[in-house]
Amino acid sequence: MNLAALPLGLLLWTGVASAWTFGLFGYDKWRAGRGGRRIAESALWWVSALGGWPGGLLGMSVFRHKSAKGSFQLKFAAAFVVWLGLLW
């Protein structure tokens, strides 16, 4: 896929959504280590499906968060497929 061919608005949306998703993954990991109120997996899935999947993928890698949970990995892959469907 040629990024130059994508509309600027879509690239901006994906960038903002990715930054937000990355922050949510980091915040959830931080809260998990302190026993505080967590972000629902469904919220992480939805923000990923609505364009934040690059940030979610980066967040899973950087924070090592949700990377070993197979059920979440499947949902995250589904979120990517949803994003592709919306893009198409």
Model confidence, pTM:
0.80
Residue 88 has pLDDT above 80, yes or no: no
Burial of 59 (0-12, 13-18, 19+ CB in 10 A): buried
pLDDT digits (tens, 9 = 90+) for 18-44: 999 999 999 998 998 888 888 888 898
Q: What is the pLDDT of residue 23?
A: 95
